[in-house]
Protein backbone atom coordinates (compact mmCIF):
# COMPACT_ATOMS: atom_id res chain seq x y z
CA UNK A 1 0.00 0.00 0.00
CA UNK A 2 1.33 3.42 -0.99
CA UNK A 3 1.31 5.95 1.82
CA UNK A 4 -0.12 9.35 0.88
CA UNK A 5 2.38 11.18 3.06
CA UNK A 6 5.29 9.55 1.24
CA UNK A 7 3.91 10.58 -2.14
CA UNK A 8 3.45 14.14 -0.83
CA UNK A 9 7.03 14.15 0.48
CA UNK A 10 8.32 12.94 -2.88
CA UNK A 11 6.44 15.62 -4.79
CA UNK A 12 7.50 18.28 -2.25
CA UNK A 13 11.13 17.34 -2.98
CA UNK A 14 10.57 17.94 -6.70
CA UNK A 15 10.64 14.28 -7.73
CA UNK A 16 8.33 12.92 -10.40
CA UNK A 17 5.56 10.52 -9.38
CA UNK A 18 5.04 7.43 -11.52
CA UNK A 19 1.75 6.25 -12.97
CA UNK A 20 1.03 3.84 -10.10
CA UNK A 21 1.64 6.50 -7.48
CA UNK A 22 -0.61 9.01 -9.18
CA UNK A 23 -3.33 6.38 -9.62
CA UNK A 24 -3.18 5.71 -5.87
CA UNK A 25 -3.59 9.41 -5.11
CA UNK A 26 -6.62 9.73 -7.37
CA UNK A 27 -8.17 6.57 -5.95
CA UNK A 28 -7.78 8.10 -2.48
CA UNK A 29 -9.48 11.31 -3.66
CA UNK A 30 -12.56 9.34 -4.67
CA UNK A 31 -12.85 6.84 -1.82
CA UNK A 32 -11.94 9.36 0.89
CA UNK A 33 -8.88 7.54 2.18
CA UNK A 34 -6.81 10.67 1.49
CA UNK A 35 -7.79 13.46 3.88
CA UNK A 36 -8.48 17.05 2.90
CA UNK A 37 -5.24 18.05 4.66
CA UNK A 38 -3.22 15.55 2.63
CA UNK A 39 -4.88 16.56 -0.61
CA UNK A 40 -4.24 20.22 0.17
CA UNK A 41 -0.57 19.43 0.85
CA UNK A 42 -0.32 17.57 -2.45
CA UNK A 43 -1.87 20.54 -4.30
CA UNK A 44 0.56 22.97 -2.66
CA UNK A 45 3.58 20.75 -3.41
CA UNK A 46 2.43 20.51 -7.05
CA UNK A 47 1.88 24.25 -7.19
CA UNK A 48 5.50 24.87 -6.16
CA UNK A 49 7.22 21.97 -7.96
CA UNK A 50 5.08 21.50 -11.07
CA UNK A 51 4.75 18.27 -13.02
CA UNK A 52 6.35 16.71 -16.07
CA UNK A 53 4.20 16.09 -19.16
CA UNK A 54 4.17 12.38 -18.28
CA UNK A 55 2.97 13.11 -14.73
CA UNK A 56 0.33 15.48 -16.04
CA UNK A 57 -0.90 12.87 -18.51
CA UNK A 58 -1.01 10.21 -15.77
CA UNK A 59 -2.98 12.52 -13.45
CA UNK A 60 -5.37 13.47 -16.24
CA UNK A 61 -6.05 9.86 -17.24
CA UNK A 62 -6.41 8.67 -13.64
CA UNK A 63 -8.96 11.43 -13.00
CA UNK A 64 -10.73 10.50 -16.23
CA UNK A 65 -10.92 6.88 -15.08
CA UNK A 66 -12.32 7.87 -11.68
CA UNK A 67 -15.79 7.74 -13.26
CA UNK A 68 -17.49 6.66 -16.46
CA UNK A 69 -15.75 7.21 -19.79
CA UNK A 70 -17.87 7.64 -22.89
CA UNK A 71 -17.01 5.44 -25.85
CA UNK A 72 -18.51 6.23 -29.22
CA UNK A 73 -16.96 3.43 -31.30
CA UNK A 74 -20.00 1.15 -31.22
CA UNK A 75 -22.43 3.89 -32.26
CA UNK A 76 -21.43 4.11 -35.95
CA UNK A 77 -21.06 7.87 -35.82
CA UNK A 78 -20.73 9.71 -39.12
CA UNK A 79 -17.79 11.90 -38.12
CA UNK A 80 -14.86 12.40 -35.74
CA UNK A 81 -15.60 13.37 -32.13
CA UNK A 82 -14.30 16.89 -31.52
CA UNK A 83 -14.86 19.62 -28.93
CA UNK A 84 -13.79 23.08 -27.85
CA UNK A 85 -13.17 24.38 -24.34
CA UNK A 86 -12.84 27.98 -23.17
CA UNK A 87 -11.01 29.09 -20.04
CA UNK A 88 -13.90 31.48 -19.39
CA UNK A 89 -14.80 35.06 -20.16
CA UNK A 90 -17.55 37.67 -20.20
CA UNK A 91 -20.13 37.63 -22.98
CA UNK A 92 -18.51 34.45 -24.29
CA UNK A 93 -21.34 32.60 -26.03
CA UNK A 94 -19.09 30.88 -28.59
CA UNK A 95 -20.04 27.32 -27.59
CA UNK A 96 -23.72 27.96 -28.33
CA UNK A 97 -23.07 28.74 -32.00
CA UNK A 98 -19.81 26.89 -32.65
CA UNK A 99 -21.06 23.42 -31.69
CA UNK A 100 -23.94 23.39 -34.24
CA UNK A 101 -21.73 24.94 -36.95
CA UNK A 102 -19.08 22.23 -36.55
CA UNK A 103 -21.76 19.53 -36.37
CA UNK A 104 -23.24 20.87 -39.61
CA UNK A 105 -19.78 20.40 -41.14
CA UNK A 106 -19.59 16.72 -40.22
CA UNK A 107 -18.08 16.83 -36.73
CA UNK A 108 -19.60 15.09 -33.73
CA UNK A 109 -19.65 17.47 -30.74
CA UNK A 110 -20.51 16.02 -27.30
CA UNK A 111 -19.94 19.22 -25.34
CA UNK A 112 -19.93 18.99 -21.56
CA UNK A 113 -20.10 22.56 -20.32
CA UNK A 114 -19.66 24.18 -16.92
CA UNK A 115 -21.31 26.77 -14.76
CA UNK A 116 -19.99 30.26 -14.25
CA UNK A 117 -16.78 30.56 -12.26
CA UNK A 118 -16.14 33.82 -10.44
CA UNK A 119 -16.97 36.71 -12.75
CA UNK A 120 -17.21 34.53 -15.87
CA UNK A 121 -20.39 33.15 -17.36
CA UNK A 122 -21.19 29.45 -17.75
CA UNK A 123 -22.70 27.80 -20.82
CA UNK A 124 -24.82 25.49 -18.65
CA UNK A 125 -26.36 28.49 -16.89
CA UNK A 126 -27.17 30.12 -20.21
CA UNK A 127 -28.88 27.03 -21.61
CA UNK A 128 -31.07 26.79 -18.51
CA UNK A 129 -32.68 30.07 -19.58
CA UNK A 130 -34.40 28.03 -22.32
CA UNK A 131 -37.69 26.62 -20.95
CA UNK A 132 -37.60 22.85 -20.63
CA UNK A 133 -33.95 22.44 -21.69
CA UNK A 134 -32.39 19.66 -19.59
CA UNK A 135 -28.69 20.20 -18.97
CA UNK A 136 -28.37 17.06 -16.84
CA UNK A 137 -29.77 14.16 -18.87
CA UNK A 138 -28.62 10.63 -18.12
CA UNK A 139 -25.68 9.49 -20.22
CA UNK A 140 -27.83 7.19 -22.39
CA UNK A 141 -30.04 10.14 -23.39
CA UNK A 142 -26.99 12.33 -23.99
CA UNK A 143 -25.49 9.69 -26.31
CA UNK A 144 -28.76 9.36 -28.25
CA UNK A 145 -28.98 13.11 -28.81
CA UNK A 146 -25.36 13.29 -29.96
CA UNK A 147 -25.93 10.48 -32.46
CA UNK A 148 -29.23 11.87 -33.76
CA UNK A 149 -28.23 15.54 -33.94
CA UNK A 150 -24.44 15.48 -34.30
CA UNK A 151 -24.11 17.54 -31.10
CA UNK A 152 -25.44 18.09 -27.61
CA UNK A 153 -24.44 20.58 -24.94
CA UNK A 154 -25.02 19.53 -21.35
CA UNK A 155 -23.51 20.17 -17.91
CA UNK A 156 -21.04 17.94 -16.11
CA UNK A 157 -22.65 14.93 -14.46
CA UNK A 158 -21.57 13.15 -11.29
CA UNK A 159 -20.61 10.14 -13.42
CA UNK A 160 -17.83 11.92 -15.30
CA UNK A 161 -14.43 12.56 -13.66
CA UNK A 162 -15.71 12.70 -10.05
CA UNK A 163 -12.13 13.06 -8.76
CA UNK A 164 -12.05 16.51 -10.32
CA UNK A 165 -14.97 17.70 -8.19
CA UNK A 166 -13.10 17.02 -4.95
CA UNK A 167 -9.74 18.20 -6.21
CA UNK A 168 -11.21 21.48 -7.42
CA UNK A 169 -12.90 22.15 -4.07
CA UNK A 170 -9.55 21.69 -2.30
CA UNK A 171 -7.71 23.88 -4.81
CA UNK A 172 -10.29 26.61 -4.30
CA UNK A 173 -9.59 26.89 -0.55
CA UNK A 174 -5.81 26.36 -0.67
CA UNK A 175 -4.90 29.09 -3.19
CA UNK A 176 -3.72 26.51 -5.75
CA UNK A 177 -6.32 27.17 -8.45
CA UNK A 178 -3.65 28.70 -10.71
CA UNK A 179 -1.36 25.64 -10.70
CA UNK A 180 -0.88 24.80 -14.39
CA UNK A 181 -0.73 21.00 -13.98
CA UNK A 182 -3.85 21.01 -11.81
CA UNK A 183 -5.75 23.33 -14.18
CA UNK A 184 -4.73 21.08 -17.05
CA UNK A 185 -5.80 17.85 -15.34
CA UNK A 186 -9.14 19.42 -14.35
CA UNK A 187 -9.94 20.50 -17.89
CA UNK A 188 -8.62 17.50 -19.77
CA UNK A 189 -9.94 14.78 -17.46
CA UNK A 190 -13.50 15.83 -18.28
CA UNK A 191 -12.72 16.11 -21.99
CA UNK A 192 -11.10 12.65 -22.04
CA UNK A 193 -14.14 11.29 -20.20
CA UNK A 194 -16.26 12.61 -23.09
CA UNK A 195 -14.40 10.27 -25.47
CA UNK A 196 -12.93 12.94 -27.75
CA UNK A 197 -10.71 12.43 -30.78
CA UNK A 198 -9.62 16.09 -30.89
CA UNK A 199 -9.88 19.20 -28.73
CA UNK A 200 -9.36 22.90 -29.41
CA UNK A 201 -8.70 25.20 -26.46
CA UNK A 202 -9.77 28.84 -26.37
CA UNK A 203 -7.36 30.45 -23.89
CA UNK A 204 -8.67 33.87 -22.93
CA UNK A 205 -6.20 36.69 -22.26
CA UNK A 206 -6.90 40.17 -20.90
CA UNK A 207 -8.45 41.85 -17.87
CA UNK A 208 -11.58 39.67 -18.06
CA UNK A 209 -9.68 36.37 -18.26
CA UNK A 210 -8.40 33.89 -15.69
CA UNK A 211 -4.96 34.34 -17.37
CA UNK A 212 -4.74 38.15 -17.86
CA UNK A 213 -1.18 38.20 -19.26
CA UNK A 214 -0.23 36.67 -22.62
CA UNK A 215 2.74 34.84 -21.06
CA UNK A 216 0.34 33.14 -18.62
CA UNK A 217 -1.98 32.14 -21.45
CA UNK A 218 0.93 30.77 -23.49
CA UNK A 219 2.20 28.71 -20.56
CA UNK A 220 -1.26 27.24 -19.95
CA UNK A 221 -1.73 26.49 -23.65
CA UNK A 222 1.62 24.70 -23.87
CA UNK A 223 0.88 22.66 -20.76
CA UNK A 224 -2.54 21.63 -22.06
CA UNK A 225 -1.22 20.66 -25.48
CA UNK A 226 1.80 18.74 -24.14
CA UNK A 227 -0.34 16.84 -21.64
CA UNK A 228 -3.09 16.06 -24.16
CA UNK A 229 -0.57 14.87 -26.73
CA UNK A 230 1.26 12.75 -24.14
CA UNK A 231 -2.08 11.06 -23.41
CA UNK A 232 -2.88 10.57 -27.11
CA UNK A 233 -5.39 13.39 -27.71
CA UNK A 234 -4.96 15.74 -30.67
CA UNK A 235 -5.07 19.27 -29.25
CA UNK A 236 -4.35 22.85 -30.24
CA UNK A 237 -4.99 26.21 -28.60
CA UNK A 238 -5.93 29.71 -29.69
CA UNK A 239 -5.25 32.67 -27.46
CA UNK A 240 -8.06 35.21 -27.83
CA UNK A 241 -8.67 38.66 -26.39
CA UNK A 242 -10.84 39.20 -23.31
CA UNK A 243 -10.09 42.87 -22.63
CA UNK A 244 -13.78 43.53 -23.34
CA UNK A 245 -16.89 41.33 -23.45
CA UNK A 246 -16.79 39.11 -26.51
CA UNK A 247 -20.42 39.58 -27.55
CA UNK A 248 -22.49 42.77 -27.13
CA UNK A 249 -24.66 41.02 -24.51
CA UNK A 250 -23.93 39.80 -20.98
CA UNK A 251 -26.54 37.72 -19.15
CA UNK A 252 -27.94 34.23 -19.55
CA UNK A 253 -31.12 34.82 -21.56
CA UNK A 254 -29.63 37.82 -23.37
CA UNK A 255 -26.68 35.72 -24.55
CA UNK A 256 -29.03 32.95 -25.75
CA UNK A 257 -30.95 35.65 -27.63
CA UNK A 258 -27.69 36.92 -29.16
CA UNK A 259 -26.64 33.39 -30.14
CA UNK A 260 -29.95 32.60 -31.83
CA UNK A 261 -29.86 35.86 -33.79
CA UNK A 262 -26.34 34.93 -34.93
CA UNK A 263 -27.44 31.44 -36.02
CA UNK A 264 -30.39 32.98 -37.90
CA UNK A 265 -27.91 35.44 -39.50
CA UNK A 266 -29.95 38.36 -38.16
CA UNK A 267 -26.85 39.70 -36.42
CA UNK A 268 -23.11 39.21 -36.82
CA UNK A 269 -20.98 40.88 -34.11
CA UNK A 270 -17.56 40.94 -35.74
CA UNK A 271 -15.32 40.02 -32.77
CA UNK A 272 -17.59 37.10 -31.93
CA UNK A 273 -17.68 36.08 -35.60
CA UNK A 274 -13.90 36.14 -35.99
CA UNK A 275 -13.45 34.04 -32.86
CA UNK A 276 -16.07 31.50 -33.94
CA UNK A 277 -14.53 31.10 -37.40
CA UNK A 278 -10.98 30.79 -36.04
CA UNK A 279 -11.92 28.17 -33.44
CA UNK A 280 -14.22 26.33 -35.83
CA UNK A 281 -11.58 26.19 -38.55
CA UNK A 282 -9.08 24.79 -36.06
CA UNK A 283 -11.60 22.14 -34.99
CA UNK A 284 -12.22 21.05 -38.59
CA UNK A 285 -8.50 20.98 -39.38
CA UNK A 286 -7.59 19.05 -36.25
CA UNK A 287 -10.39 16.56 -36.87
CA UNK A 288 -9.38 15.99 -40.49
CA UNK A 289 -12.58 17.54 -41.88
CA UNK A 290 -10.81 20.26 -43.87
CA UNK A 291 -7.49 20.48 -45.68
CA UNK A 292 -6.62 24.11 -44.96
CA UNK A 293 -7.95 27.10 -42.98
CA UNK A 294 -9.62 28.72 -45.99
CA UNK A 295 -11.53 25.56 -46.86
CA UNK A 296 -12.53 25.15 -43.22
CA UNK A 297 -13.93 28.68 -43.04
CA UNK A 298 -15.86 28.17 -46.29
CA UNK A 299 -17.49 25.08 -44.79
CA UNK A 300 -18.37 26.96 -41.59
CA UNK A 301 -19.82 29.95 -43.43
CA UNK A 302 -21.92 27.64 -45.59
CA UNK A 303 -23.20 25.87 -42.48
CA UNK A 304 -24.18 29.23 -41.00
CA UNK A 305 -25.68 30.98 -44.03
CA UNK A 306 -27.48 27.92 -45.40
CA UNK A 307 -29.34 27.56 -42.11
CA UNK A 308 -27.92 24.06 -41.44
CA UNK A 309 -26.28 25.11 -38.17
CA UNK A 310 -29.46 26.75 -36.89
CA UNK A 311 -31.46 23.59 -37.63
CA UNK A 312 -28.87 21.43 -35.84
CA UNK A 313 -29.13 23.62 -32.74
CA UNK A 314 -32.92 23.62 -32.80
CA UNK A 315 -33.07 19.82 -33.24
CA UNK A 316 -30.63 19.26 -30.37
CA UNK A 317 -32.48 21.75 -28.17
CA UNK A 318 -35.81 19.96 -28.74
CA UNK A 319 -34.21 16.55 -28.10
CA UNK A 320 -33.08 17.84 -24.69
CA UNK A 321 -36.54 19.12 -23.77
CA UNK A 322 -36.48 22.66 -25.16
CA UNK A 323 -39.06 24.20 -27.53
CA UNK A 324 -39.04 22.76 -31.05
CA UNK A 325 -39.80 26.21 -32.51
CA UNK A 326 -37.26 28.17 -30.44
CA UNK A 327 -35.60 29.76 -33.48
CA UNK A 328 -38.86 31.27 -34.70
CA UNK A 329 -40.26 32.27 -31.31
CA UNK A 330 -37.29 32.96 -29.04
CA UNK A 331 -38.78 36.28 -27.97
CA UNK A 332 -41.79 34.33 -26.72
CA UNK A 333 -39.81 31.71 -24.80
CA UNK A 334 -36.85 33.58 -23.31
CA UNK A 335 -37.45 35.49 -20.05
CA UNK A 336 -37.35 39.28 -20.25
CA UNK A 337 -36.58 41.76 -17.50
CA UNK A 338 -39.28 44.23 -16.55
CA UNK A 339 -36.98 47.29 -16.57
CA UNK A 340 -34.64 48.48 -19.31
CA UNK A 341 -32.54 51.60 -19.36
CA UNK A 342 -29.98 52.94 -21.81
CA UNK A 343 -26.82 54.34 -20.22
CA UNK A 344 -24.89 57.02 -22.10
CA UNK A 345 -21.29 58.15 -21.82
CA UNK A 346 -20.33 61.82 -22.08
CA UNK A 347 -20.86 62.83 -25.70
CA UNK A 348 -17.88 63.33 -27.98
CA UNK A 349 -15.46 60.86 -26.38
CA UNK A 350 -14.05 57.45 -27.30
CA UNK A 351 -14.40 54.29 -25.23
CA UNK A 352 -10.74 53.46 -24.57
CA UNK A 353 -10.79 50.82 -21.83
CA UNK A 354 -13.16 48.47 -20.01
CA UNK A 355 -12.73 46.70 -16.69
CA UNK A 356 -14.12 43.46 -18.09
CA UNK A 357 -13.98 41.61 -14.80
CA UNK A 358 -16.07 44.38 -13.22
CA UNK A 359 -18.62 44.06 -16.04
CA UNK A 360 -18.85 40.32 -15.39
CA UNK A 361 -19.47 41.00 -11.71
CA UNK A 362 -22.05 43.64 -12.66
CA UNK A 363 -23.92 40.95 -14.59
CA UNK A 364 -23.83 38.67 -11.55
CA UNK A 365 -25.10 41.45 -9.29
CA UNK A 366 -28.04 42.08 -11.62
CA UNK A 367 -28.78 38.36 -11.73
CA UNK A 368 -28.80 38.03 -7.95
CA UNK A 369 -31.56 40.63 -7.57
CA UNK A 370 -33.85 40.14 -4.59
CA UNK A 371 -35.35 36.78 -5.43
CA UNK A 372 -32.86 34.43 -3.79
CA UNK A 373 -31.95 32.63 -7.00
CA UNK A 374 -30.19 33.65 -10.24
CA UNK A 375 -32.38 35.67 -12.58
CA UNK A 376 -31.77 34.65 -16.18
CA UNK A 377 -33.56 37.69 -17.65
CA UNK A 378 -31.14 40.38 -16.44
CA UNK A 379 -27.89 41.72 -17.85
CA UNK A 380 -26.52 44.08 -20.47
CA UNK A 381 -27.20 44.39 -24.17
CA UNK A 382 -25.96 46.58 -27.03
CA UNK A 383 -22.60 46.99 -25.31
CA UNK A 384 -20.29 49.45 -27.04
CA UNK A 385 -16.85 48.27 -28.20
CA UNK A 386 -13.40 49.57 -27.38
CA UNK A 387 -12.41 52.38 -29.72
CA UNK A 388 -16.03 53.31 -30.42
CA UNK A 389 -17.00 56.98 -30.64
CA UNK A 390 -19.71 57.83 -28.15
CA UNK A 391 -22.38 60.38 -29.03
CA UNK A 392 -25.79 61.29 -27.71
CA UNK A 393 -27.48 58.67 -29.91
CA UNK A 394 -25.18 55.74 -29.02
CA UNK A 395 -25.70 54.08 -25.63
CA UNK A 396 -22.80 52.59 -23.73
CA UNK A 397 -25.16 49.69 -23.02
CA UNK A 398 -28.77 48.90 -22.18
CA UNK A 399 -29.28 47.56 -18.67
CA UNK A 400 -31.95 44.89 -18.08
CA UNK A 401 -33.11 44.61 -14.46
CA UNK A 402 -36.15 43.71 -12.40
CA UNK A 403 -35.94 46.33 -9.65
CA UNK A 404 -35.07 50.02 -9.56
CA UNK A 405 -32.26 49.69 -7.01
CA UNK A 406 -30.40 47.12 -9.11
CA UNK A 407 -30.89 49.28 -12.20
CA UNK A 408 -29.45 52.38 -10.51
CA UNK A 409 -26.46 50.50 -9.06
CA UNK A 410 -25.72 48.82 -12.38
CA UNK A 411 -25.81 52.16 -14.21
CA UNK A 412 -23.29 53.61 -11.75
CA UNK A 413 -21.01 50.55 -11.91
CA UNK A 414 -21.15 50.42 -15.71
CA UNK A 415 -19.84 53.96 -16.04
CA UNK A 416 -17.19 53.30 -13.37
CA UNK A 417 -15.94 50.25 -15.32
CA UNK A 418 -15.29 52.29 -18.48
CA UNK A 419 -12.55 54.77 -19.37
CA UNK A 420 -13.02 57.45 -22.02
CA UNK A 421 -10.56 59.61 -23.95
CA UNK A 422 -10.94 62.53 -26.30
CA UNK A 423 -8.87 60.87 -29.01
CA UNK A 424 -9.33 57.50 -30.65
CA UNK A 425 -7.36 54.53 -29.32
CA UNK A 426 -6.34 51.41 -31.29
CA UNK A 427 -8.75 48.51 -31.11
CA UNK A 428 -7.11 45.39 -29.64
CA UNK A 429 -6.67 42.38 -31.95
CA UNK A 430 -9.15 39.60 -31.23
CA UNK A 431 -6.91 36.67 -32.17
CA UNK A 432 -3.55 36.76 -30.41
CA UNK A 433 -1.81 33.46 -31.18
CA UNK A 434 -2.36 29.92 -32.43
CA UNK A 435 -0.40 27.11 -30.79
CA UNK A 436 -0.49 23.60 -32.26
CA UNK A 437 0.66 20.25 -30.92
CA UNK A 438 2.32 17.32 -32.63
CA UNK A 439 -0.80 15.17 -32.99
CA UNK A 440 -3.67 15.53 -35.44
CA UNK A 441 -6.21 13.20 -36.98
CA UNK A 442 -5.66 11.96 -40.54
CA UNK A 443 -7.75 13.44 -43.33
CA UNK A 444 -11.26 12.23 -42.63
CA UNK A 445 -13.17 9.83 -44.86
CA UNK A 446 -16.41 11.32 -43.57
CA UNK A 447 -18.45 13.47 -45.90
CA UNK A 448 -18.84 17.17 -45.22
CA UNK A 449 -22.50 16.80 -46.25
CA UNK A 450 -23.49 14.48 -43.40
CA UNK A 451 -26.02 16.92 -41.90
**Per-residue pLDDT tens digits for 84-113:** 999 889 999 999 999 999 999 999 999 988
pLDDT mean across residues, the chain: 91
Locate the domains of the chain by residue range.
4-50, 73-330+430-436, 336-421
Mean pLDDT of 42-64: 92
Tens digits of residue pLDDT in 10-52: 999 999 999 999 999 999 999 999 999 999 999 999 999 999 9
The question of whether 178 is a catalytic residue gets the answer: no
In percent, the amount of the chain with pLDDT more than 70 equals: 95
Strand ranges across the sheet with 198-205 = 82-86, 198-205, 234-241, 431-436
The question of whether 176 is a catalytic residue gets the answer: no
126, 143, 191, 315: the active-site residue: 191
Given this model, what pLDDT does residue 445 score?
Answer: 41
* Right CATH for 73-330+430-436 from 1.20.1730.10, 3.40.1030.10, 3.40.50.150, 3.40.50.300: 3.40.1030.10
The question of whether 274 is a catalytic residue gets the answer: no
Flag whether pLDDT at 306 surpasses 80: yes
- Residue scoring higher pLDDT (372 or 245): 245
The question of whether 84 is a catalytic residue gets the answer: yes
* Right CATH for 336-421 from 3.40.50.970, 3.10.20.90, 3.90.1170.30, 3.10.180.10: 3.90.1170.30
Helix (H, G, I), strand (E, B) or coil at 235: strand
Phi, psi of 266 (to 5 degrees): -80, -25
CA-to-CA separations, 71 to 110, 139, 158, 188, in angstroms, rounded: 11, 11, 17, 16
171, 257, 308, 315: the active-site residue: 171
CA-to-CA separations, 395 to 179, 246, 271, 392, in angstroms, rounded: 40, 17, 19, 8
The question of whether 249 is a catalytic residue gets the answer: no
The question of whether 166 is a catalytic residue gets the answer: no
First to last CA, the chain: 52
353 burial level (CB within 10 Å; 0-12, 13-18, 19+)? middle
Beta carbons within 10 angstroms of residue 424's beta carbon: 12
Given this model, what pLDDT does residue 49 score?
Answer: 95
145 torsion bin: left (phi>0), alpha (psi -120 to 50), beta (else): alpha
CB-based contact 361:378 (threshold 8 Å): no
Helix (H, G, I), strand (E, B) or coil at 94: helix
Single out the residue of 117, 133, 170, 126 nearest to residue 8, CA to CA: 170
| DSSP, res 192 | H
11, 60, 64, 84: the active-site residue: 84
* Whole-structure pTM value: 0.89
Contacts of 356 by beta carbon, 8 Å cutoff, 6+ apart:
89, 90, 206, 207, 208, 242, 243, 244, 245
83, 125, 202, 375: the active-site residue: 83
The question of whether 73 is a catalytic residue gets the answer: no
Phi, psi of 435 (to 5 degrees): -125, 125
Amino acid sequence: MLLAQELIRKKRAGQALDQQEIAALVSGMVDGSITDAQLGAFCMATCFQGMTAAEGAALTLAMRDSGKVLCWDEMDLLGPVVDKHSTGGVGDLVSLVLAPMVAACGGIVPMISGRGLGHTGGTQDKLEAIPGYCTTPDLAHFRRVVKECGMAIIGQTADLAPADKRLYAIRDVTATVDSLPLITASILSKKFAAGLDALVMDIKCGNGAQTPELAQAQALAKNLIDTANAAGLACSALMTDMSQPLAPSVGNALEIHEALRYLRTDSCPQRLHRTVLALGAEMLLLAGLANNPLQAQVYLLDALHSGKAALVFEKSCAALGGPADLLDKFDHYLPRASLRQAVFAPAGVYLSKMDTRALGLLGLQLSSGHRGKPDASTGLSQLAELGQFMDSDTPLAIIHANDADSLALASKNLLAACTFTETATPRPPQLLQNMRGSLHLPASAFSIETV
